[in-house]
Amino acid sequence: MQIAALLSGGVDSSVAVHLLCEQGYKPDLWYIKIGMDDVEQGYSCPQEEDLEIVQAMAHKYGLKYEVVDLQQEYWDQVVQYTIDKVRRGFTPNPDVMCNRLIKFGAFHQKVGHLYDYSATGHYATIVEGPWVEQEGQYGVASTEGFIPLGIDSRQVQADAQAAVPSRWLGTTPDPVKDQTDFLAQITGLQLEHSLFPIGRMDKGEVRRIAEEAKLPSARRKDSQGICFLGKINYNDFIERFLGVKEGPIVQLETGKVLGKHRGYWFHTIGQRKGLYLSGGPWFVVKKDIEQNIIYVSNGYDPEAQKQDWVNLDDVHWIAPLPLLPGQEWQMQCKFKIRHVAELNDGVLSVRANGSCHLQSTKLINGVAPGQFCCIYSPDGRICLGSGEIVQG
């Protein structure tokens, strides 16, 4: 079996390579270069240390390594997506799009298609098993037992002619590190060619293995932020493209002007830091894009930023559900709208046009248009996909 291992220089991908070698495989190591090397414009992503670790891993295990340059693809598909969403007042997630379009997209088109599988250091698992009906419920007949998907088979019909999924994106036992939300836009075909060697481990176990194996990245800190920015501040990056446009900060409940902001594109729903208002804490609860107004509310976790529903568009199912097209149906599910450990319970209603309404069993805060809402099976074991949050 030929495996391409995507090595970032971090401990997770290094342990993934170590485990593959322990199992007798000899993966080829690939480092994806995405940082923009335009120092004059302020785009730099330090990669020297990353490459030193990649080289050390290759030497330690007697593996080949190469660098694949995907800088232009990253700029065209991920950076431009981020700038466009911010310009329109939305809250983008470039990490989600990087996985779909770069690590599992452009890399596969350039290199990955030459291999049987591509392995990464993501905290996620693969669930094997066909789509089946059991006791009035559609679900997955996995090797670990039947996993209900929350779809009542008496309310909706399956398409007998559709391809039946047999490979699903599973969550990891460590809910804090689980990264299925970052993978929730990949396709079923991309998943078919993916391996997640550390998927059933928690971070402590990964660190322990790295220490015991004396891996060069064993004590390296986890990376933070968006790589293409390097050491550039996010707001400085946004200002370079969108400029500054002053507008009022208004208290939602009273209409009182509390201060000024430098442009709605510097703020997102649920934001607390960076408002520079006295008498806080203050939270961004609403944005008027046309009037360039930021609305805020006072207090810890204010009720003004909470709601018990989410509308979704462009819902993407990782393993396409073989249901008859044009049907309206509902499913019990768990979901989350940001990278947190806790999953919420809800009911997803799928309309005939494909748009969705998600009704939560409790109030949730910080719902921001442009973010991705990830949908899970009722027991939280399978990530089914995600959709983009849209305004009411």
Residues marked active site are found at 98, 227
Query: What contacts 315, CB < 8 A, 6 or more positions away?
Result: 350, 354, 355, 356, 375, 385, 386, 387
Amino acid occupying residue 225: G
Cβ proximity of 32 and 68 under 8 Å: yes
CB of 344 closer than 8 Å to CB of 301: no
Residue pair 205/182 in contact (Cβ under 8 Å)? The answer is: no
| Range list of β-strands (E), 9-143 | 28-33, 65-69, 117-119, 125-128, 131-134, 137-142
Burial environment of residue 121 by CB neighbours within 10 A (0 to 12, 13 to 18, 19 or more):
buried
The C-alpha angle with vertex 185 and arms to 184 and 188, in degrees rounded to 5, equals 90
Place of tokens 């330690």: 60
Token pair in block for residue 165: 């999924």
Contacts of 98 (CB under 8 A, 6+ apart): 34, 74, 78
Contact 215, 11 (CB under 8 A): yes
Asked whether the beta carbons of 329 and 151 are under 8 A apart, the reply is yes
- Kindly report whether the peptide bond that precedes residue 281 is cis, defined as omega within 30 degrees of 0: yes
Could you write out the DSSP letters of every residue in 115-153?
SSEEE---S-EEEE--EEEETTEEEEEETTEEEEEEEET
| Burial (CB count within 10 angstroms: exposed 0-12, middle 13-18, buried 19+), residue 150 | buried
Tell the residue number behind the tokens 């660098």, with chain if given: 67
